[in-house]
Structure formats: structure tokens, C-alpha cells
Amino acid sequence: MKTLLVDAWQNLRTRRSHALVAVGGLALALAACALVAMTMIALSAPDPAVEDPDRVVVLDFKGNQPDRQNDWSLASPLSFGPMLRQSGAPLDRIGRVAGSGMDIRHEGRGSPAYLLVADPDVVPLLGLKPSHGDLNAALARPDGIAISVDVVRTLWGDLPPAEAVGKRIEGCGEEGDYNVFTVMAVLPNTDPRSPLYNPNPWVGGAMAMVGFDSPASVPRERQEAIYAAYIYGWVFAELREGTDAEEIGAWIHEAFVASPLYAKLPVEWKDNREAAFFRALPLSELPFKGRGKEIRWTVLRALAVASVLMLLLAAFNCMNLQTASLLQRQRETALRRSIGAAGPQLVMLWTMEAFILIASAAVLALLLAWWLAPSFAALLQLPPGYELGSPVPVSILGGIAITVLALVPLVVGFPAWRALRNPPAPALQGRTASEGPWGRRVRQSSLAVQFVGAVVLCAMAFILAAQQYHLMNADRGFETRNRVWLTIHTNPERIPDLEGFKRALANHPDVLHVALSDNVPALPVDGRIELHVSRTQHRQALRMISVSPGFFDTLGMRVLAGTPRAGSGETSIAIDESAARALGFDSPQSAIGEILRSGGDFIQEGSQERRIVAVVNDYKMESARKASMPKGFIVTDKPLWDITIHGTNAATLAQTVGELWRQHGPPLDFDIWTLDQTLAWAYRQEGAFTHLLGALSFLCIGVAMLGAYTLVADSLRRRRMELVLHRLHGASDAAIMRQASSEIAVPFLVAVFIALPLAWWLGSRYLGGFVDRLDAMTGIVLPIVVAIVATLVITAFAVLRHLRRAVSWQPIEALR
């Protein structure tokens, strides 16, 4: 074995460039596979704190409102908890958690925090463990509170968390005033795999927990009504032994139909149809559910396919190099056979060479993956807590080992079969056989596969980039350039006086317009929906947003008719063009002054009257993946917490606004983003996917180019005499170039033929996920053409050196 190893190693050393090309390509591809696999393993793991995640379920609810796209909420009205308890469902424990916000302060220091109002049963259900103190006591006592380590740091700096227990702080939930709480427990920052994890960039890890009797919660007397009508949080439950999660959906449905809430629902929601759907999801399935996670898994699956494709290309590359190498070594092979080496012994030698190559690539890949893991996690915007690659999971090591073992026969099989077919005698006489037409076709086929991979990945990268550009620049009915958005970390019910700040903004020369709203422009949100009925009985559900009168100027929107102004004594509403049409108005002008009736529960007709004061151009606040609904803007002078400022220069504007807030605004924490940054954050997953696929396709093209480079180098070496004969018979430089490049031209054309429909199909599937997308010509055809041209140009550069050499060969060589 040692002799074999030394022999194989020496053989590899003599063909160093071949070996380096093969190892480099395989290492990159294996590293990409390992990175994607590590991410998938990390993201598929359930919360490690939960003892049996298959038996703990979270209730899920999907409304079934007519004529609307309804999605699963991954949450449910909290009233389902008591409903299930009363129904006698086979559940051992049921615990509710309501999520909201809280302002916490202590001796002048304050922190906005994510507030969880929880039943004590949630503690054992989710395996919640405080780092210090008693969490059960914090939830049981009305004045008790548990706070996260981040809140401790904000309030007391370097104070050891244990010493925070027992301290008294002030806090106020979304309703009510500030109350005094006693810190009874300190919680570690929430694990990102926990169902309670809240990825809110404006709050970070600041979190507090109280019980349902806490003054920070909705008052007891109103809890039942609110928790029945709205989805405020989650209901967790533990399945009784022998119970299946699927059974629970039927129990909830039964309890829901029997509840008073069901009776209140509009008749058309229930008439021969389900008003809502229910299910219980085991926590082990939670990592795969939810819109954001589903997009993330789609991204990861696509990256996995791309990585495996790249691995396949690298393996083909390796096989090509091995074939070329064995053809070059015919004399050596013949010599070995002449001194008694049998076929299996030669195969063993070549297998050992391939094993050394692939195993070296695997080791390099693991090091690369381990080194790149933090950057990869950052690019995918995984929250802290997902420690990719430290340590590298055993399953990854096993997977790599299996891949190595699977690749060896793939790389050695064909070249060895080919090499052993040649009789040794001619090679010993100095006559080397060519690989023959079939060998050449096999190698050209594998190059064609490499080109298919490169073109498809490259096309997909361009399609994604084009769509991402479209997402960032599509006309949404408002401008984002030179606009910043300031959000205050405060209770929406108690927004402080902002007049001083608004005056300071108005007087600043860099500020052109200022607007307040209860939704962030450029950050796709669903918002509330209310049915509006016009005098002519046209009915239309409008997606609602509250804005100050300056909102439309600030966002560069066009007012088509009327004047957006807050009403005195009556509610003023501005509607967009689609809404005006849907409500039966012939023109924007004809809608002005008209009264709309709204304000009913469950998107039903209400009795509130709203006067139309303006009609503006269509405004899209939904995600590009959702269809746009007609909009209604409640125009109000009331303070709202999202402030949009239009200035002359976004970069300096953010700084200016920050300084003005510190000087003239209330002492509250705030965040300032440009609207372009907000938009990019909204489509961060798509952006990350675009970047990653771009990088992968770049690597893929690199691998394919190495393949083309070595194939052309090798085939020109083999075809040297043929080309010299062409020269001898009068071939011009161009004819020689044509001859030499035909080696890659045919595989390239075949690849284009295969890649075109494949890229079209994949591109259509990706764009099909967006309602707001590029047309087929700009979004698919153009990127595919660019990808083909780019691959062709890069290939041409890769093989140019060889082509120039081929042109320099002289016909006299025919005599040598």
C-alpha cells in the first residue's frame, strides 16, 4: 500500500498543473456544498430547549375571507387556548403567549423591549430557563417581570445579571401608564430557533416577560374580547401520549364553531364554506413554516442544487483531466504492463491517484467551509445563535467522506477503461493511440454538461439580479430617493409631542417635506383592511394607512384631485386611483367630497362616515410577492410614529435629522434609515440569494473554464499533427483558429441548446413567485442572452492562449 501511495503521489507531482486544477475545482464545489448543507442543518434544528419538539405544538390559524389571498398565520387568536381546555382536547398542558412592546426605564435610562405576556405553563412547555432568578414567580406575580440580558446591559451597563434580580424598574406596555416592576428573573437572549424569537432589528435582543395579570398586559376584563378577535400571539400545547398533531386541528375547529366568535362572523364567510382553517404544528416543523422561512428554504434549496451542479461539473473536469492524463501516459502504462502489471493493479494505482486528489480537495473544502461559514451566515443574514461550522457537524464530515468515495469511481472509471483498451505494444514502439471518436465525444459531452451548468447558473444569476434591480427601482407610486425614515421606539398609544421637532425640520434648509404615518413607506406590510361603501353602493375593501396631510408631497406622489387635509369633526380620507374606480367614481374629480361608509368588524359594512378629500396615484405598500389592493389614507393631524423626511441629499439628511431629533425631539430612542435602505432590507433574502447565486455562478463558470482550458490544451496537443497537416494543405490562420476552436464550439452550442429551455423554466419559476415582476423579455430572455455571451467571452479568453499557439505551428513539423 505504501508503495502504491508513493507511486501515486509521484505521478501526481509530475502533473502538478492537472492536479491543482482538479483539486481547486473540487475543493470550491465541495466547500459550497458543505456551506449550504451546514446552513440547512442549522436552520432545520428545532429549539434545543424544548425537550420533545414533536409533542409540543403551536396552534395555527388561517382565515378564509372571501376573495382574498389567505395565508397561515403561524399564530392564532389566544382565545383558542381556553377553548381547547374547555373542549377536553387530548392535551396535557396549554400555554398562551401574547407578543407586544414595552418601554422600560430606570433612573433616566430607557430601553424599548419586545414584551411577552405568558401563562406559567409556557415555561415547562418551551423549556424556558432564566440565567438568574425565578421565571415562574415573574409570570405569577402582577408586579413581577423577567428581562433579558440586553435590557440589563441597557439599564445598568456592566452590572452582573445576577445582581439585577430584585431591582425595581418602570415599564409600560402598549396600554396603560408606567408601573413599577420587580425584576424576578434575568433571561438569556432568545435563541433564534425558539418560537418566541422576534427578529426585530429595532429592538434587538431587548425582551421582557410578564404574566397575564400584569399591568403591562391588556386588562383582564378586556382580554377575552381582544384575544378572540385578533391574532395577538401563540397558543402552545403538549400532546397527550398517543395523540397525533393532526387530530388537534379538528378539536380546534369544533371549539371554534361552538364559540360566540363564530356566531359573529358574516354569513357569507360561513355559507357552505369554512370560515377558517386550523392546525397544530409540532415545534419540530416550525423551522420550515412561515413565509419568510419558506423563502429562505427556497433560496437554500436552489443554492443546494447549484452547489451540487457545481460539484458535478468539477467531477467531470476531474474525469476529463484524468482521461487526458492517461492518454498522455500511454507509454508509461505500456511499460508497466510489459513488466507484469495487471489491469486491476493499474486501476488501483489510478484509483489511489484519484483518491489523493479528491481527498485533498475534501480537506481543503472543509477548511474553506469552516473559514467562510461566518461570512456565509452574515450574507444570509442569519441571526446570532446560528453558529455555522463551529464545530463542523459530524453529518457534514460523513457526507463529505461519502462524496469522496462516490467521486473516485466516477473520476477513474471511464479513463481507466479507455486506457486499458489500448494494447501496450504500439505505445512501446512510440506510437500512441488517440482516444478515438467515442472518447472524444465523451469528453466533449462532459464539457457540454459543464457549459450547461455555467450558462444556467449564470443566466439565473442575471435573472435574479435583474429582478432585484426591478424590486429596488420599480414604480410603487412613490419616490424613495433622498428620503429618510425615522421611527420612534415608543408606545403607539402615547406618542409624545413632536411639534418642536417638526418645526426644526421645517426650518432646516436641507429638508423639503415632512410626513407622519403609521406605516413605513417602502417596507412592505399588509396593514389593516376595511370595507368602504360609496353612495352608489359600490363596495370595496381598502388597505388602510394613517398619514399626515404632507405625506403625499413628501413621498413625491401625485394628487390627482382635491386637497389632502385633515377634517375638522369628520374623518378625511384620501383614496388612490384604483380605489376611486372600484368605488364607482368616473373620475378622480367626481370622488371629491363624496362620503364613504366604513368601520364595520370583519371587513363588513359599518356606519362611520369618511369624506373623500383627495384622490392620489396608485400606491403599492404590499410586498412584490403580493397583489396590490386599493388604498385608503386616513388624513389626520394626530401624532404618528413613523416620520418620513424628504431632503436634498439622503446621506447628509440622515445625519441632519438625527441631530435635530437629539436637539428638539423627545428623549426617546429612534432609528433612521433611508427609504432605499428600508427597501433593500425588505428584500434582503432575495438580495442575499442574488449575491450567493452570483458568486456560485462565477465559480461555476470558473470551473467550466478550467475544463475548457484543459480540454483545449490537451486536444490541441493531441491534434497538433492534424493542424500541421491542415497548415500543410494551405489552411489560413482563421481556418486553423476555426479548427482548434471547434473542440469547444460544438459542446458550447449543444450546451446552449440544452441550457436555454432549462434557464427559461427556472427563471419563470423564480419570477412566478412575484406578482410584481419583470416581463419575460427583460426578465428572462435578456439575462439568458447576456449569460450566453458572458460564458462565450470568458471561454474565448480562457482558450485564446492555446489558439494563438495553434496558429503559430508551422507545416514543417509534418516532417519531424
Partner 1 sequence: MIEMQQLSKRYRAGEVETTALDSIDLQIDAGEYVAITGPSGCGKSTLLGIVGLLDVPTSGTLRLDGHDVTGKSPRELAALRRDRIGFVFQSFNLVDELTVEQNVQLALRYGGLPAAKQKQRVAEALERLGLSHRARHHPSQLSGGQQQRVAIARAIAARPALLLADEPTGNLDSAHGHEVMRLLRELNEEGATLITVTHSAEHAALASRCIRLLDGRVLVDAHADRVS
- Which residue in the block uniquely carries the three cell numbers 489560413? 732
Q: Which is nearer to partner 1, 433 or 474 (CB)?
A: 433
Q: Which is nearer to partner 1, 379 or 433 (CB)?
A: 433
Number of residues that bind partner 1 (CB under 8 A): 23
Closest distance of CB 441 from partner 1, Å: 10
Q: What distance in Å separates the CA atoms of residue 242 and residue 627, rounded to the nearest whole number?
A: 43
Closest distance of CB 743 from partner 1, Å: 11
* Of positions 267, 339, 394, 815, contacts partner 1 by CB under 8 A: 815
Q: Which is nearer to partner 1, 726 or 773 (CB)?
A: 726
Buried b (16+ CB within 10 A) or exposed e, 165-181: beeebebbbbbbebbeb
Closest distance of CB 440 from partner 1, Å: 6
Q: Which is nearer to partner 1, 436 or 500 (CB)?
A: 436
Q: Which is nearer to partner 1, 176 or 811 (CB)?
A: 811
The footprint of partner 1 on residues 439-478 (CB under 8 A) is 440
Asked if 726 is part of the footprint of partner 1 (rule: CB under 8 A), the reply reads yes
Q: DSSP letters of 360-391? A: HHHHHHHHHHHHHHHHHHHHTTPPTT--TTTT
Q: What distance in Å separates the CA atoms of residue 683 and residue 91, rounded to the nearest whole number?
A: 39
* Of positions 529, 728, 750, 807, contacts partner 1 by CB under 8 A: 728
Closest distance of CB 716 from partner 1, Å: 13
- 3-state DSSP call for residue 392? coil
Asked if 127 is part of the footprint of partner 1 (rule: CB under 8 A), the reply reads no
Closest distance of CB 9 from partner 1, Å: 32
- Which residue in the block uniquely carries the three cell numbers 483531466? 321
Angle at 408 between CA 403 and CA 410, to 5 degrees: 95
| Amino acid identity at 649 | N
Q: What distance in Å separates the CA atoms of residue 439 and residue 419, rounded to the nearest whole number?
A: 10
Asked if 593 is part of the footprint of partner 1 (rule: CB under 8 A), the reply reads no
Contacts for 602-606: CB closer than 8 Å, 24+ residues apart: 602/264, 602/265, 602/266, 602/269, 603/65, 603/266, 603/529, 603/530, 603/531, 603/541, 604/266, 604/531, 605/531, 605/533, 605/539, 606/530, 606/531
Q: Which is nearer to partner 1, 570 or 733 (CB)?
A: 733
Closest distance of CB 481 from partner 1, Å: 60
Determine the length of the chain: 816
* Of positions 41, 735, 800, 807, contacts partner 1 by CB under 8 A: 735
Buried b (16+ CB within 10 A) or exposed e, 632-652: bbbbbeebbbbbbbbbeebee
Asked if 433 is part of the footprint of partner 1 (rule: CB under 8 A), the reply reads yes
* Of positions 129, 168, 729, 804, contacts partner 1 by CB under 8 A: 729
Asked if 808 is part of the footprint of partner 1 (rule: CB under 8 A), the reply reads no
Asked if 434 is part of the footprint of partner 1 (rule: CB under 8 A), the reply reads yes
- 3-state DSSP call for residue 38? helix
Binding range to partner 1, per CB under 8 A, among 2-10, 41-49, 701-709, 731-739: 731-739
Asked if 437 is part of the footprint of partner 1 (rule: CB under 8 A), the reply reads yes
Asked if 390 is part of the footprint of partner 1 (rule: CB under 8 A), the reply reads no
Closest distance of CB 719 from partner 1, Å: 8
* Of positions 185, 411, 731, 799, contacts partner 1 by CB under 8 A: 731
Given a contact cutoff of 8 angstroms between Cβ atoms, the answer to whether 539 and 596 are in contact is no
Given a contact cutoff of 8 angstroms between Cβ atoms, the answer to whether 496 and 799 are in contact is no
CB atoms near residue 109 (< 10 Å) = 12
Q: Is the dihedral of CA 160, 164, 169, 171 positive or negative?
A: positive
- 3-state DSSP call for residue 254? helix
Asked if 804 is part of the footprint of partner 1 (rule: CB under 8 A), the reply reads no
Asked if 738 is part of the footprint of partner 1 (rule: CB under 8 A), the reply reads no
Closest distance of CB 681 from partner 1, Å: 58
Closest distance of CB 721 from partner 1, Å: 6
Asked if 811 is part of the footprint of partner 1 (rule: CB under 8 A), the reply reads yes
* Cell numbers placing 542: 381598502
Given a contact cutoff of 8 angstroms between Cβ atoms, the answer to whether 194 and 36 are in contact is no
Q: Is the dihedral of CA 617, 622, 623, 625 positive or negative?
A: negative
* Cell numbers placing 732: 489560413
Closest distance of CB 812 from partner 1, Å: 4
DSSP class of 781? I
Asked if 742 is part of the footprint of partner 1 (rule: CB under 8 A), the reply reads no
Q: Which is nearer to partner 1, 149 or 724 (CB)?
A: 724
Q: Which is nearer to partner 1, 607 or 810 (CB)?
A: 810
Burial of residue 657 (CB within 10 Å: 0-12, 13-18, 19+) is: buried
Asked if 62 is part of the footprint of partner 1 (rule: CB under 8 A), the reply reads no
Given a contact cutoff of 8 angstroms between Cβ atoms, the answer to whether 585 and 596 are in contact is no
Binding range to partner 1, per CB under 8 A, among 221-229, 403-411, 492-500, 726-734: 726-734
Closest distance of CB 759 from partner 1, Å: 32
From residue 760 to residue 789, what is the string marking binding to partner 1 with x (rule CB under 8 A)? ------------------------------
From residue 685 to residue 724, what is the string marking binding to partner 1 with x (rule CB under 8 A)? ----------------------------------x-xx-x
Asked if 740 is part of the footprint of partner 1 (rule: CB under 8 A), the reply reads no
Closest distance of CB 744 from partner 1, Å: 16
Given a contact cutoff of 8 angstroms between Cβ atoms, the answer to whether 621 and 580 are in contact is no
Asked if 727 is part of the footprint of partner 1 (rule: CB under 8 A), the reply reads yes
Q: Which is nearer to partner 1, 566 or 728 (CB)?
A: 728
Closest distance of CB 731 from partner 1, Å: 5
480 Cβ partners below 8 Å, 6+ apart? 521, 522, 674, 675, 676, 678, 679
Binding range to partner 1, per CB under 8 A, among 104-112, 140-148, 460-468, 804-812: 804-812
Asked if 732 is part of the footprint of partner 1 (rule: CB under 8 A), the reply reads yes
Q: What distance in Å separates the CA atoms of residue 744 and residue 736, rounded to the nearest whole number?
A: 14
Binding range to partner 1, per CB under 8 A, among 329-337, 433-441, 549-557, 623-631: 433-441
Q: Which is nearer to partner 1, 108 or 730 (CB)?
A: 730
Q: Which is nearer to partner 1, 2 or 816 (CB)?
A: 816
Name beta bridge partners: 100: 115
Q: Which is nearer to partner 1, 140 or 812 (CB)?
A: 812
Asked if 424 is part of the footprint of partner 1 (rule: CB under 8 A), the reply reads no
Instruction: With CA atoms as reference, report the closest residue to 440 among 700, 702, 712.
Output: 712
Asked if 810 is part of the footprint of partner 1 (rule: CB under 8 A), the reply reads yes
* Cell numbers placing 791: 460564458
* Of positions 166, 343, 436, 593, contacts partner 1 by CB under 8 A: 436
Instruction: With CA atoms as reference, report the closest residue to 790 among 473, 471, 469, 460.
Output: 460
Given a contact cutoff of 8 angstroms between Cβ atoms, the answer to whether 143 and 82 are in contact is no
Could you tell me where the beta strands, DSSP code E, fall in 107-206? 109-118, 132-133, 144-148, 168-172, 179-187
Asked if 725 is part of the footprint of partner 1 (rule: CB under 8 A), the reply reads yes
Q: Which is nearer to partner 1, 433 or 754 (CB)?
A: 433
Asked if 1 is part of the footprint of partner 1 (rule: CB under 8 A), the reply reads no
Closest distance of CB 427 from partner 1, Å: 13
Q: Which is nearer to partner 1, 418 or 543 (CB)?
A: 418
State the residues that interact with partner 1 by CB under 8 A: 433-434, 436-437, 440, 719, 721-722, 724-732, 735, 810-812, 814-815
